[in-house]
A and B are shown apart, each in its own frame.
Chain A
Amino acid sequence: MIVQIQGSKQTGKKYWRSLEELADTTQFKQWVAQEFPATAEDAADGNSRRKFLNIMAASMGLAGLTACRRPEEHILPYSKSIEEQIPGVPLRYASVFSLGTRAQGLVVESSDGRPTKIEGNPQHPNSLGAASGFAQASVLCLYDPDRSRSVLEGGKASKWETFSESLKAQNWGDGSGLRVLSQAVNSPTLSALRAEILTKYPKSAWVEYEPINEDTLLAGSALAFGQRLRPVYDLEKAKVILSLDSDFLLHDSPGLEATRGYAKGRRNAEGLSRLYVAESNYSITGAQADHRLRLKPSEVLGFASDLAREAGALPQGLKILGQNDKFGKWTKSVAKDLLENKGSAVVIAGARQPAEVHAIAALLNQIIGAIGSTVNYIKHERESMSAGVTKLSEDLTAGIVKTVVILGGNPAYDAPAHTNLAANLKKASVIHLGYEVNETAKLAGWHIPEAHYLESWGDALCDGVASIQQPLIEPMFGGKSAIEVAALLAGLSPKGFELVKSHWKLDDKSWRKALHDGVIASAKDDFVKVVADPKRVDAAVSAAPKLVSGMEVAFFPSATAYDGRFANNGWLQETPDPMLKLVWDNAGIISPKTAKVLAVENGDMLAITVAGKTASVPAMILPGHADETVSVTLGYGRKEIGRVGKDVGVDVYPIRANAGMGFSAAQIVKGSGHHNLVTTQEHFSMEARPIVREAKVEDYHHHKNFATHEDEEIEQYSIYGYHEYDKGNQWGLVVDLNSCVGCNACITACQAENNIPIVGKDQVERGREMHWIRLDRYFSSTSEDENHVASEDPQVVYQPMACQQCETAPCESVCPVAATNHSPEGLNDMAYNRCVGTRYCANNCPFKVRRFNYLNWHKDMEESTKMVFNPNVTVRMRGIMEKCTYCVQRVQEAKIQAKVEGRRDLRDGEIKTACQQTCPAEAITFGNINDPNSAVSKLKKNDLNYGLLKELNLKPRTSYLAKLRNPNPELA
């Protein structure tokens, strides 16, 4: 049965707040009319904000959902059950998540009407079944109690109807005083609405702005090919990869397919790919490198130019620069390696680098035969965002612009510093659609709460693949989408669903298929055939600004807050930075040598001055970082934000101006003061212990069992006897350290799946973080002394560390109340309600993966946030121990399903742990080790397979595949 919402005439998925709404009684209408404005009035009074939140949270808890608690007198049974809904069984819907200029196809799990878990859509080429940490965490944003909850007119609560009336009453004439400033328009529907608005108001302008954008990439392709193109890489085919300051495994790739392809190329010891990285900051891509060259960001152009000339791709190159021996060995060897692997090599340039570097990369790709093989180009007509927002600011200063409609985002916070946009916006009347009452909303005459992508209809096109954004829940706080506001501006009916559906003009069957698959097959664009012009590039490179000596500052998206939009997301704030392991802060990353020159230690403030503006950033020393360079992450130091992001980190946007959106020359001196930086891992040397085992691939060919040859075989006598684990399902897991890139997606997936709480900076400092998976990061020196980490150029290895499910688990024998025991399937189970919390098990765990609830982490949790909980996993109270269970709830679910289908055995791969499912690198394999044909059994027979701490006779069920590196003998 599909119930029609009043006023909606379309078929498809419907959402309602309560049965009263379905019935549309007058009582309900009165209630809605009274409830929200009345309490919203309260909000104006700062003192009662908390009370307001309580009331709002409670009322949403009562009204928002089909499955939540309502006042007793309103409880009614379903007279007919909802189609497809089986109580307790989650439903999954395909949708799409846009972030910046990219989009990932998702499958969203809905538990009794609440979206609870984000997973990748296997059919979407940008996600391939995986989901990034941002996508995983976006579900928490949906329930953020600090979201904007009401239309505001001059800061006072108003109504959507009042706003739409006032908008209709506006007369903009030819639109010369009207500007629309939106986030990246990935949505074809919004794109069409933009065209309509521009037709209606021919003199108006629509500017897209994202602080993390691809301006230089598109300009680079325009320089090389004469048209704006975006490269799409196929790294699985690549045998040699060169990254020119590109963090393609985390920030600089349109989707997760780069990680997937790269990981596939690293998995097979025969024909292992080789990765060269030339970069300033130590990125996770750099951690994967077989050879890594530390360069100041401005030196990358010289290096690329030298390399291109060496490879014959660029006739001249930089005449003054690069003609030196600084990179001589590198340019020769890398050029040779690239040319020797014609057709299976690729060069990738990073978003921070100027257009010339992207153009050189295109030339190199052309000469090494990459184009058409490892890289293809696709049309990407997007204007320069920095130029657009600069022009807007100029128009504002000139007084031309009367009204700015801001569709999403926070330009007052993140616009380039030279535009002075926040001040200039005061000169016009601003209408702001936003997810939170942020810095921009504070400047706006009208603020409209924006609907979350899980609440609103939309679509997204990324690299030629289109998907429909399908909502799973009625807007919790009455938000509107950018499409709806744009439609209102265009004079159309602001109904998201109708706008999207009519845009795609699909017949009913294709529409249903598009919704079901999450991908619209017919919309796929073809790759364009291109030829790069070396002369034009050469001319541009010669004219490029010359290298200057001195300090530089480079800007990076935050792995947690991104550009600032996730700053109020606790899951992300508490996810450690992949390289620094820093939480709840950003920092200015410097090399040990630069730290010495500046006389700073971790946490000492650095004063970074660019074009007269200074930002004060706490220093963090990272071995392997380029000297004379500070890398800073964007997205922190938000002023107008909810409770989570308040006073977290420092804002570096004030020193990020047009000329240096990627990096720029800067004056850097030691500032005054100290800031306490908190990390989840304090010790980075392996102390010469065989924890992460690693070898060069050629050594491996001579010495296949290097990973285990030092393990002692010990058969110890047990007075209790060993359990028999040779029957039925015996769960095991293998982590391939060659594939794992350390991207953190598994941490967030685990957090969402297993209801893992966040504890805050102070508690992380006390060592009480709750993550069930740690991504251990170790430095290993490339010098002779393996034990020393003081090396300037250390290598980095990652190791995901969760409960190893030891067969002879030391935690089990010491628990006095037998709260942790082994299951017949080999899982180390926790009986939460039996645990009294002696912590003896954690003390006796050699991996220290058990997590104790030292305090009640849910004490101050708002009702709305509680909706994110996975109903299949117990929420643990304070005073008890918890840890990874191999997602036992998923194991049970699959077993029940098999039983329902009358199967005795589970199929291999039928159960995926949350971490495994979201891993873009497919580094994690879970399954039955008792089945010799299962994927996990086969991996456990691999030469590289090893278990940790074998001498303790633990018999861990989790094992690792040792890491192989493939260095170029010429560079060794």
Chain B
Amino acid sequence: MAQQLTQEIEEKDRLALAEMNQPLILGNPSYHDVTRVVSEIVEVRTPKIWYMALALTGGITAILGSMLAYLVWNGIGVWGNNSPVGWGWDITNFVFWIGIGHAGTLISAILFLFRQKWRTSINRFAEAMTLFAVACAGIYPAFHVGRPWRAYWLFPIPIADHGMWQNFRSPLEWDVFAVSTYATVSLLFWFVGLIPDLAILRDRATTKIRRTIYGVLSLGWRSSSTHWKNYEKAYTILAGISTPLVLSVHTIVSFDFAVAILPGWHTTIFPPYFVAGAIFSGFAMVVTLMVIARWVFKVEHIVTMKHLENMCKVMVATGTIVGYAYATEMFIAWYSGNPYEQFTFINRATGPYYWAYWIMISCNVLSPQLFWFKRMRTSIPVMFVVSIIVNIGMWFERFVIIATSLHRDFLPSSWGYFHPTIVDILTFFGTFGLFLTLFLLFLRFLPMIAVQEVKGTMAAEKH
């Protein structure tokens, strides 16, 4: 019975693929070719350019480290945060990075469950991006607190000094659980997916060190059918666990705002709006990185235009959802008759932060509309530029939500303005260093494309 069902699903997959007119893998490579192309990236002698790139990104990461040290030594006052703007670039950057991570989970989990085979060429890459983005995001909640050495008090661990529970009514506490769960599950999911490929690297290894390390990491994988059976089961279960996380993490991040009483934050539209925005920015980031990686590593036949085009389609869809959310916010502010709410939205578009608002609108709503045209969404330069613009826009979206809502709320006497400091800017800049450093290490030491899964896709195409 189950077998019959599986056959039916595969039949559907094949039909779906046939509809797409284009093969997912070009040039009809053999299984061995795929293995060789992907594995050789990590097996060849480390190119000089890699060292140079690592030196650059490592240097930027060092800036991040020194900025954080400076912050811990002196206090949050080295940033531009103030009263009334208690959160500035810190939480903006946190939401920005968490959002970027979303594409990875979406590609690996949801598209897996929906049997979107085209995901296989990009899922490893996207998952890695998720993990590194979450690592960058995690810096902010830990370091934005006034006393970072007490940040562990946010975790319900029994050694916490006061012998008291956390406040489970606080959305920030929910955030702690949501983000830590997300990071853990994403890591496990990624690692489980890596096991068969790590075994390939182990088997191809020429030195003892490589053999040992990849041997340990591949957990004794022998490609036996029992292994494959267990693997498929585990992978599906993890995909099942990850799927709600795609929705829940950003929903809970949005609760940080939606549960507060601040006009501009206190809105029920936030969960879907944030999730759509997160996927939007995540796909944009995957496109930005993939365009570079497939060119550098010459894997254009595996990561094809089809993949990129699909991602552009996702971007135009989610970008339009985001634009719709902006319009809804405005409409509800007017329709609610709440003068504070109305003021906040008029102030966003016309107040001291009007420039941020209009940058957000042009980048997020207008720029992806180009992807309605096939020529645009299949043009590498266009999608590269647009994907960067989208991420700039999504950063501004978070900034607009946080800063413009806080800077003018209920009592005009307390109104203020937020100016970032050089430390704010360099810290944010530094997180890109960390992100790219982790990426460079990933590209050098792990297979950037899920070899075994691509082979599976090829098999499906052939039959």
A contact set with B: CB distance below 8 Å:
681-689, 691, 720, 763, 766-769, 774, 776-778, 799, 801, 810, 813-818, 834-840, 842-844, 846-856, 877-881, 948-949, 952
Closest to A854 in B: B77
Closest to A690 in B: B339
Residues of B within 8 A of A766 (CB): 77, 80, 82, 419
Please report the C-alpha to C-alpha distance between residue A816 and residue B255 in the assembled complex, in whole angstroms. 13
Does B415 reach chain A (CB closer than 8 Å)?
yes
Residues of A within 8 A of B65 (CB): none
Residues of B within 8 A of A689 (CB): 339-340, 410-412
Please report the C-alpha to C-alpha distance between residue A778 and residue B419 in the assembled complex, in whole angstroms. 25
Shortest distance between the CB of A959 and any CB in chain B (Å): 15
Cβ of A836 and Cβ of B261 under 8 Å apart? no
Residues of A within 8 A of B86 (CB): 839-840, 842-843, 852
Residues of A within 8 A of B408 (CB): 683
Shortest distance between the CB of B143 and any CB in chain A (Å): 11
Shortest distance between the CB of A297 and any CB in chain B (Å): 30
Please report the C-alpha to C-alpha distance between residue A232 and residue B144 in the assembled complex, in whole angstroms. 57
List 27 A–B pairs whose Cβ atoms lie within 8 Å, in order of A's numbering: A684-B412, A687-B343, A689-B339, A689-B410, A768-B77, A768-B83, A816-B154, A816-B173, A817-B167, A834-B164, A836-B146, A838-B146, A839-B144, A840-B170, A840-B172, A843-B87, A844-B261, A844-B262, A848-B84, A848-B409, A849-B414, A853-B146, A854-B76, A855-B75, A855-B76, A855-B78, A881-B146
Cβ of B415 and Cβ of A682 under 8 Å apart? yes
Closest to B406 in A: A843
Closest to B340 in A: A689
Q: Is the interface of B mostly helix, strand, loop or mixed?
A: loop
Please report the C-alpha to C-alpha distance between residue A854 and residue B408 in the assembled complex, in whole angstroms. 20
Closest to B343 in A: A687
Shortest distance between the CB of B54 and any CB in chain A (Å): 35
Cβ of A856 and Cβ of B75 under 8 Å apart? yes
Does B272 reach chain A (CB closer than 8 Å)?
no
Residues of A within 8 A of B53 (CB): none
Cβ of B147 and Cβ of A879 under 8 Å apart? yes
Cβ of B164 and Cβ of A818 under 8 Å apart? yes
Cβ of A837 and Cβ of B145 under 8 Å apart? yes
Residues of B within 8 A of A838 (CB): 144-146, 172
Do A836 and B260 form a contact, CB below 8 Å, given A720-B169, A766-B80, A813-B169?
Answer: no
Residues of B within 8 A of A763 (CB): 77
Residues of A within 8 A of B260 (CB): 810, 814, 840, 843-844
Please report the C-alpha to C-alpha distance between residue A810 and residue B409 in the assembled complex, in whole angstroms. 14
Cβ of B172 and Cβ of A682 under 8 Å apart? no
Does B153 reach chain A (CB closer than 8 Å)?
yes
Residues of B within 8 A of A767 (CB): 82-85, 416-417
Does B243 reach chain A (CB closer than 8 Å)?
no
Cβ of A774 and Cβ of B87 under 8 Å apart? no
Residues of A within 8 A of B74 (CB): 855-856
Please report the C-alpha to C-alpha distance between residue A682 and residue B169 in the assembled complex, in whole angstroms. 34
Please report the C-alpha to C-alpha distance between residue A877 and residue B75 in the assembled complex, in whole angstroms. 10
Does B70 reach chain A (CB closer than 8 Å)?
no
Does B413 reach chain A (CB closer than 8 Å)?
yes
Cβ of A836 and Cβ of B411 under 8 Å apart? no
Residues of A within 8 A of B59 (CB): none
Q: List 18 extra interface pairs beyond A843-B260, A856-B75, CB under 8 A.
A: A681-B414, A689-B339, A767-B84, A767-B417, A801-B411, A814-B259, A818-B170, A834-B153, A836-B154, A838-B146, A840-B170, A842-B86, A843-B87, A848-B83, A848-B409, A855-B74, A855-B77, A877-B147
Do A774 and B172 form a contact, CB below 8 Å, given A839-B81, A854-B81?
Answer: no
Cβ of B146 and Cβ of A835 under 8 Å apart? yes
Residues of A within 8 A of B153 (CB): 817, 834, 836
Residues of A within 8 A of B170 (CB): 813-816, 818, 840
Cross-chain contact of A851 among B83, B162, B169, B261 (Cβ < 8 A)? B83
Residues of B within 8 A of A881 (CB): 146
Binary CB contact string for chain B from 337 to 379 against chain A (1 if under 8 A, 0 otherwise): 0011001000000000000000000000000000000000000
Shortest distance between the CB of B259 and any CB in chain A (Å): 7
B392-428: which have CB < 8 Å to A? Answer: 406, 408-417, 419
Do A846 and B261 form a contact, CB below 8 Å, given A685-B412, A839-B81?
Answer: yes
Residues of B within 8 A of A852 (CB): 76, 81, 83, 86, 146
Residues of A within 8 A of B31 (CB): none
Shortest distance between the CB of A949 and any CB in chain B (Å): 6
Residues of B within 8 A of A948 (CB): 411
Does B171 reach chain A (CB closer than 8 Å)?
yes
Please report the C-alpha to C-alpha distance between residue A45 and residue B415 in the assembled complex, in whole angstroms. 47
Does B321 reach chain A (CB closer than 8 Å)?
no
B contact set with A: CB distance below 8 Å:
74-78, 80-87, 144-147, 150-151, 153-154, 162, 164-167, 169-173, 176, 256, 259-262, 339-340, 343, 406, 408-417, 419
Interface centre among B164, B165, B413, by most chain A C-beta atoms within 10 angstroms, is B413
Shortest distance between the CB of B171 and any CB in chain A (Å): 7
Residues of A within 8 A of B151 (CB): 836
Cβ of A817 and Cβ of B83 under 8 Å apart? no
Please report the C-alpha to C-alpha distance between residue A815 and residue B154 in the assembled complex, in whole angstroms. 10
Residues of B within 8 A of A847 (CB): 410-411, 414
Please report the C-alpha to C-alpha distance between residue A74 and residue B172 in the assembled complex, in whole angstroms. 51
Cβ of B165 and Cβ of A818 under 8 Å apart? yes
Please report the C-alpha to C-alpha distance between residue A279 and residue B185 in the assembled complex, in whole angstroms. 71
Cβ of B410 and Cβ of A818 under 8 Å apart? no
Interface centre among B82, B165, B173, B409, by most chain A C-beta atoms within 10 angstroms, is B82
Interface centre among A684, A836, A856, A880, by most chain B C-beta atoms within 10 angstroms, is A836
Do A778 and B412 form a contact, CB below 8 Å, given A854-B77, A855-B75?
Answer: yes
Cross-chain contact of A768 among B82, B169, B411 (Cβ < 8 A)? B82
Residues of A within 8 A of B411 (CB): 689, 691, 776, 801, 846-848, 948
Shortest distance between the CB of A966 and any CB in chain B (Å): 25
Residues of A within 8 A of B414 (CB): 681, 774, 847-849
Interface centre among A687, A814, A843, A952, by most chain B C-beta atoms within 10 angstroms, is A843
Please report the C-alpha to C-alpha distance between residue A688 and residue B412 in the assembled complex, in whole angstroms. 10
Please report the C-alpha to C-alpha distance between residue A719 and residue B403 in the assembled complex, in whole angstroms. 30
Cβ of A839 and Cβ of B169 under 8 Å apart? no
Shortest distance between the CB of B106 and any CB in chain A (Å): 28
Cβ of A880 and Cβ of B343 under 8 Å apart? no
Shortest distance between the CB of B70 and any CB in chain A (Å): 12
Residues of A within 8 A of B81 (CB): 839, 852, 854
Do A682 and B75 form a contact, CB below 8 Å, given A767-B84, A836-B154, A840-B172?
Answer: no
Cβ of B146 and Cβ of A878 under 8 Å apart? yes
Closest to B83 in A: A767
Cβ of A949 and Cβ of B410 under 8 Å apart? yes
Shortest distance between the CB of B278 and any CB in chain A (Å): 21
Interface centre among A686, A691, A799, A837, by most chain B C-beta atoms within 10 angstroms, is A837
Residues of B within 8 A of A952 (CB): 261
Shortest distance between the CB of B52 and any CB in chain A (Å): 39
Do A817 and B76 form a contact, CB below 8 Å, given A767-B83, A839-B86, A848-B409?
Answer: no
Do A817 and B166 form a contact, CB below 8 Å, given A854-B81, A854-B82, A879-B75?
Answer: yes
Cβ of B150 and Cβ of A836 under 8 Å apart? yes
Interface centre among A720, A853, A879, by most chain B C-beta atoms within 10 angstroms, is A879
Cβ of B410 and Cβ of A683 under 8 Å apart? no
Please report the C-alpha to C-alpha distance between residue A532 and residue B365 in the assembled complex, in whole angstroms. 80
Residues of B within 8 A of A851 (CB): 83
Cβ of A836 and Cβ of B147 under 8 Å apart? yes
Shortest distance between the CB of B149 and any CB in chain A (Å): 9
Shortest distance between the CB of A490 and any CB in chain B (Å): 55
Residues of A within 8 A of B410 (CB): 689, 846-848, 949
Shortest distance between the CB of A820 and any CB in chain B (Å): 9
Shortest distance between the CB of B312 and any CB in chain A (Å): 37
Cβ of B413 and Cβ of A778 under 8 Å apart? yes
Do A814 and B171 form a contact, CB below 8 Å, given A687-B343, A776-B413, A856-B75?
Answer: yes
Please report the C-alpha to C-alpha distance between residue A603 and residue B305 in the assembled complex, in whole angstroms. 59
Shortest distance between the CB of B78 and any CB in chain A (Å): 8
